[in-house]
């Protein structure tokens, strides 16, 4: 209430102040010493959040320059490249491990999740199971944020590869177009740097020595193809294929074979001898017993509950 002269009633509670607009953040700069501290990552998170809510996509480079993005991707790739195909996460009794599935460019969900579960720290380890990009509008920002955490705490944040971290999926499901819209003339260069980083992502993890995680799942044994020399029939003789010559013979793979597989491929092959990466990223569980080709996807396998039990028993695991 107010009096006829317009003076505020002193008994009324004061009105809340008008919210002041959040100022536009300055362009993000790479630290001079190259060290991404927790405070730096927190400020980076706030900047990404602001940009996603206030900037049109084609203005992102005014805050996240292409040069900055390349430096962050290179720093992350150096760390990821040194990690094996299977990263072993061995928490202490007082450490929690948080496993996160597909986030697909949902930056605000990732920020909420990190705050709600508790940020990566000496007490909390995160394992992300891939599919950081495509479908959502902020795949670039989402992956940059997670890579920043990886650089900051390389032994507390583990990033595995998903099937969408590939040239094929990102060209079909949106990430390539997202980068091109945001970085225009520099988009192709930025996109190639992301593809190069994808190749360095590990394929699987084993947590506490008993939990296996991967984006897809179980994989076949290494395929041994006959050499060209073996294929050539001797004069007067016909070469007869053996079971080891048959490239589609399916047997359960070993962790040692997974460790030795070549993961630095833009698109995991669906034929040839290097099939393990495609299996790990694209395979699906099935109610039917045994191993079979995943004909619906055209890559990877279907595996039944008996194969799950065999895999767990063979590798002394409890959960997959």
The span from the CA of 58 to the CA of 248, in Å, is 47
Whether residue 220 contacts residue 229, with contact meaning beta carbons closer than 8 Å, is answered with no
Q: How does pLDDT run along the chain (320 residues), one tens digit per residue? A: 444 444 444 444 555 554 556 788 999 999 999 999 999 999 999 999 999 999 999 999 999 999 999 999 999 999 999 999 999 999 999 999 999 999 999 999 999 999 999 999 999 999 999 999 999 999 999 999 999 999 999 999 999 999 999 999 999 999 999 999 999 999 999 999 999 999 999 999 999 999 999 999 999 998 876 665 544 444 444 333 333 334 457 999 999 999 999 999 999 999 999 999 999 999 999 999 999 999 999 999 999 999 999 999 999 999 88
Strand partners of residue 257: none
List of residues 6+ apart from 15 with CB closer than 8 A: none
The span from the CA of 261 to the CA of 8, in Å, is 75
The span from the CA of 128 to the CA of 162, in Å, is 9
**Predicted local confidence at residue 85, as pLDDT:** 98
Between the alpha carbon of residue 152 and those of residues 31, 46, 119, 147, 203, the distances in Å are 12, 16, 12, 8, 21
> What is the reported pTM?
0.87
Indicate the SS3 state at residue 88.
Answer: strand
The span from the CA of 127 to the CA of 161, in Å, is 11
Give all strands of the β-sheet with 124-128 in edge-to-edge order.
96-100, 124-128, 157-159
The span from the CA of 206 to the CA of 88, in Å, is 5
The span from the CA of 113 to the CA of 143, in Å, is 14
Q: Distance between alpha carbon 225 and the CA centroid of its chain, in Å?
A: 31
**Predicted local confidence at residue 23, as pLDDT:** 84
The span from the CA of 27 to the CA of 47, in Å, is 9
Whether residue 252 contacts residue 291, with contact meaning beta carbons closer than 8 Å, is answered with yes
**Environment class of 254 (CB within 10 Å of its CB; exposed 0-12, middle 13-18, buried 19+):** middle
Tell me, yes or no, if 215 is annotated catalytic: no
**Predicted local confidence at residue 319, as pLDDT:** 87
Give the pair of three-digit tokens for residue 258: 């997974």
Active-site annotation holder among 81, 108, 164, 237: 164
């Amino acid at each position: 209430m107010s009096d006829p002269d317009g003076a505020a009633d002193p008994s009324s509670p004061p009105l809340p102040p008008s919210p002041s607009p959040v100022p536009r953040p300055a362009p993000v700069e790479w630290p001079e010493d190259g060290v991404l501290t927790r405070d730096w990552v927190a400020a980076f998170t706030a900047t990404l959040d602001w940009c996603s809510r206030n900037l049109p996509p084609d203005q992102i480079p005014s805050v996240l320059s292409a040069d900055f993005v390349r430096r962050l991707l290179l720093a992350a790739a150096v760390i990821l490249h040194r990690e094996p195909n299977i990263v072993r996460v061995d928490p202490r009794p007082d450490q929690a491990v948080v496993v996160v599935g597909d986030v697909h460019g949902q930056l605000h969900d990732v920020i909420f999740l990190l705050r709600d579960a508790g940020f990566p720290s000496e007490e909390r380890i995160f394992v992300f199971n891939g599919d950081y990009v495509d479908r959502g509008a902020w795949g670039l920002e989402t992956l940059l944020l997670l890579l920043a955490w990886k650089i900051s705490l390389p032994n507390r944040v583990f990033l595995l590869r998903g099937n969408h971290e590939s040239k094929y999926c990102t060209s079909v499901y949106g990430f390539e177009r997202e980068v091109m819209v945001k970085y225009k003339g520099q988009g192709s260069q930025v996109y190639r740097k992301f593809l190069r980083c994808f190749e360095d992502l590990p394929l699987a993890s084993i947590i506490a020595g008993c939990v296996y995680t991967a984006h897809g799942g179980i994989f076949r044994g290494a395929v041994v193809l006959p050499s060209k020399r073996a294929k050539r029939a001797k004069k007067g003789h016909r070469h007869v294929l053996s079971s080891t010559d048959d490239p589609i013979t399916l047997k359960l793979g070993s962790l040692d074979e997974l460790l030795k597989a070549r993961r630095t491929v833009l698109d995991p092959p669906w034929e040839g001898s290097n099939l393990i990466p495609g299996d790990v990223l694209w395979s699906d569980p099935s109610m039917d017993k045994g191993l079979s080709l995943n004909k619906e996807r055209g890559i990877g396998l279907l595996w039944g509950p008996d194969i799950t039990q065999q895999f767990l028993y063979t590798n002394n695991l409890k959960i997959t």
